[in-house]
Amino acid sequence: MDERQLAGSVAVVAGGTRGAGRGIAVELGAAGATVYVTGRSTRDERSPMDRPETIEETAELVTGAGGRGIAVRVDHTVPAEVEALFARVSEEQDGRLDVLVNDIWGGDPLTEWGTPFWQHDLANGLRMQELAVTTHLITSHFGAPLLVARGRGLIVEVTDGDGDGYRGSLFYDLAKSSVIRLAMAQATELRPHGVAAVAITPGFLRSEAMLDHFGVTAETWRDGVAKDPHFVASETPRFVGRAVAALAADPGVMARTGKVLTSWGVAAEYGFTDVDGARPDWGAHYREHVLAAGA
C-alpha cells in the first residue's frame, strides 16, 4: 500500500488509547490521515481501567507516524459527549469524515473467566454490554450522518473472534458477537448511501496489557511463550491497524461491507506484514494447534 494513500482523509478512532485502537490510529496516521483519538484515559486523569496509556500519547504517535493526531477526551457512554465530538469534527474538517473505528471496550476487568453465567457478577456482565456494545451504537449514531452526507466512507467494528465458536464467557461472548451483528446491520442500512461497515478481529494480540500479563516487553515478547506456547503466533496491534488502513484506502471496499474480516486474512489479500516483517496467521495456528489438540 502507498504509504500516503489516506492523505487528506479524516478518521475517528473511538477507544484509541491502547491495544488495537492505538495500533489502528497509528497506522491510519502512517497512511497520512488526520486521526481523532478518543477515550477516557488522559494525562490528567486515568479511566477505571487504571492503565498508564493515554489518548495524548496515541495522538503523538499518530503525528510521529506522519499523520495528524488529535486527542479528545470522550466518555462514549454519554451521548452528549459523543455528539459534541462529531460536531467538532464536522466544524474542524468542513464536514468531512472518511473512517469511523469503534474499538471501545474496557471489559477485561469485568470478565470472570471460568464462571458460569448464573454465578458471574450480573452488574459486571451488564456493564460489559454497555461499554462494548452500547458505546459503539451511540458512536455510530452520531458519526454515520457525516459519512452518509458524503456518500462514502467506512465504519469498522473491532471485535474478538469471527463469530464461530463460543468465546469462553457468556457475557464476553455476547459483547463480541453483538459487535459483529452491529457491523452487519449497519452495512445493510448504509449500503444504499455508499458507506461500508465491517467487523474485524485481530489474532492473539500483543497489547500493552498482554505484555504486562506475561511480564515481557515489545522487544522481549517471545519470552512469553514460556507461559503460553500459543503466544508464538501473536501479533502487534499495528498488524490489525495495517488491515484497517488497507481497507480504508481501497476504493472497492464496498465489496466487503457486512463481512467479518480477520487481520491475517486482510494481510494475505493486501500483502502487508506486521512491524517485524512477519505475517502471523492466528486462524491457521488456532486450527492446527488448538482445535486439533482439543484444547
**Which positions are annotated as active-site residues?**
172
Estimate to the nearest angstrom the gap between the alpha carbon of 103 and the chain centroid: 4
- Which DSSP string do the residues of the chain spell out, in sequence order? --TTTTTT-EEEEET-SSHHHHHHHHHHHHTT-EEEEEES--SS---TT--S--HHHHHHHHHHTTSEEEEEE--TT-HHHHHHHHHHHHHHTTT---EEEE-----GGG--TT--TTTS-HHHHHHHHIIIIIHHHHHHHHHHHHHHHHT--EEEEE-SS-S-S--SSHHHHHHHHHHHHHHHHHHHHHGGGT-EEEEEE-SSB--HHHHHHHT--SSSGGGGGGT-GGGGG-B-HHHHHHHHHHHHH-TTGGGGTT-EEEHHHHHHHHT---TTS----HHHHIIIIIITTT-
Q: What CA–CA distance (Å, rounded) separates 241 from 275? A: 10
Rounded to an integer, what distance in angstroms lies between the CA atom of residue 190 and that of residue 165? 28
What distance in Å separates the CA atoms of residue 63 and residue 57, rounded to the nearest whole number? 10
Closest CA to 245 of 22, 19, 26, 17: 26
φ, ψ at 36 (rounded to 5°): -85, 120
